[in-house]
Amino acid sequence: MNWTALTVFICLFAAVTVIGFLAARWKAASLDHLHEWGLAGRRFGTLITWFLLGGDLYTAYTFIAVPALVFGAGALGFFALPYTLMVFPFVYLVFPRLWSVAHRHGYVTASDFVRARYDSGLLALLVALTGILATMPYIALQLVGIQVVIGAMGFTGSGLLGALPLVVAFGVLAAYDYSSGIRAPAMIAVAKDLLIYLVIIAAVIVIPAQLGGYGHIFAAIPASKLLLKPPVPGNLGTYSAYATLALGSALALFLYPHSVTGLLSASNRNVIKRNMALLPAYSLVLALIAFLGYMAIAAGVAQNPAYTAFFKQYGTNFAVPALLLHSFPDWFVGVSFAAIAIGALVPAAIMSIASANLFTCNIYKEYLKRDATPQQQARTAKLVSLLVKVGALCFIVFVPEQYAIQFQLLGGLWIIQTLPAVVVGLYTRWFHRWALVAGWLVGMICGTWMAATQGFNSSIYPLHMGSLTVPGYAALYSLVANFAIAIVGTLVFRLLNAPAGEDATAPADYVHDVA
């Protein structure tokens, strides 16, 4: 047991726990109303929204998995950089419209908007279920980050005893989420980001100095991991895989419920625009985080006998913890591991709150209790957020880790299928509601089938086009199938004069701002 690191870790964890409970008094309002508990009354300004979205999108799993991918696969792992740079202009142009229409009508979720836009309870239900389904394994994977650093400090074991620190951590998370709602992760995100920046700045200065400089680091990397493998005749190889991963991930990222929740909690649409201009600062940090994978190779951590058992248990996910243990004194290892763990709690909190919002607004109130009072809705959301956390905890404790990763892979394939209804719906109502349902179904089946053909071990599907093979992100390919069915279906349903329903929104709603 690394008692020094553990002591620092516990102290920092306790500090953010206090912050989480105090958050209930911040911008005080009645948390017995869903829009206050789940969206903080839509009152977050530019700075808090920046920290919230940063904590929401750049998770502990990012801190662990991105450099792990670079450590194992090399340059392909850097696809995360162009995709984060593509996503911000996309959100800048599109999602202020969602904020405006949601603010005008009091929508809490993207499914609320779909319900009103297309007059379709079924389509809204499918969007809600897709969001919850895609988010659950994402929450579970945040636990992987905590699990790895807890193991690195000496907590080892199997079954419930080995999972005890996770149970305690998520018990604390559940408590302050229940009492404070989204205000808790918003406040904790500030502390999380300060810790992350501190660790990264120290890492990019100290570790290269120990390894003889950046030149020595690059010299130690095998050539096969420095560049993407060039295409061969008849196969675009990693080039098309890299490009489609970046584009598909950019299109999918802000469709996740936790991303939408972070956006809708902003005080006005210009807060979203300003954040899309400021958030690329996180991409710089992400580049440095990814580079830790190369540092771990140069440091030779995989060959260190002290870490052999950990690499056997956690795979390449142990690369960053091993590098930190190798490079820093124990007290700073405690700071670093606390940053990773807190980086898991912030997105996990927002994800569970977002899932609870979806269930409450689009399942409970729509199908189970239409006359639910605001207090009943808030109470239901709080209870569901607890159940979501328990489900994620059971998932990671009782389901092998590789299955959690596979389900998260499917999450990206699934959530992107809501793009035609949500994103296109912000600009036009040309698509017929039944055609969107058919497109969603085909996209879900197609994407899942593509992942199944790869044994659920990869999201890259080798698409054969005559004599040319184009490996690409299955989510993007399945989205094309979704759009094709939606377009053809719309033309067919119009020929059949199928009722399209009434649009509850007006053109002015999409450019509305706070007076």
Are the CB atoms for 373 and 93 separated by under 8 Å?
no
191 located within any domain: yes
Are the CB atoms for 275 and 505 separated by under 8 Å?
no
What are the backbone angles phi and psi of residue 468, rounded to the nearest 5°?
-105, 135
Measured between alpha carbons, how far is 38 from 464 in angstroms, rounded to an integer? 45
User: What value, to the nearest 5°, has the Cα angle with vertex 385 and ends 440 and 266?
Assistant: 75
Whether the pLDDT of residue 368 is over 60: the answer is yes
Measured between alpha carbons, how far is 41 from 366 in angstroms, rounded to an integer? 22
Q: Which residue segment(s) compose the domain that 55 sits in?
A: 3-93+127-200+270-399
* Sign of CA pseudo-dihedral 455, 460, 462, 465: positive
Indicate the helix (H) or strand (E) that contains 472. Answer: strand 468-473
Instruction: Give me the chain's average pLDDT, please.
Output: 88
329 located within any domain: yes
Report pLDDT for 402. Answer: 56
Measured between alpha carbons, how far is 454 from 473 in angstroms, rounded to an integer? 12
101 located within any domain: no
Average pLDDT over residues 215-226: 90
SS3 227: coil
Report pLDDT for 403. Answer: 58
Report pLDDT for 127. Answer: 97
Average pLDDT over residues 332-342: 90
448 located within any domain: no
Q: In the chain, how many domains are there?
A: 1
Report pLDDT for 74. Answer: 87
Report pLDDT for 340. Answer: 87
State pLDDT tens for residues 94-107: 999 999 999 999 99
Task: Mark out the alpha helices in 399-473 (DSSP H runs).
Answer: 401-415, 419-422, 433-453
Q: What is the pTM of this model?
A: 0.91
DSSP sequence for 45-62: -HHHHHHHHHHHHS-HHH
211 located within any domain: no
Indicate the helix (H) or strand (E) that contains 464. Answer: strand 460-465
160 located within any domain: yes
Q: Mean pLDDT highest for which of 59-73, 141-155, 296-310?
A: 296-310
379 located within any domain: yes
Residue 168 banded pLDDT, cuts 50, 70, 90? confident
485 located within any domain: no
Are the CB atoms for 503 and 445 separated by under 8 Å?
no
Cα dihedral 99/26/166/296 (nearest 10): 70
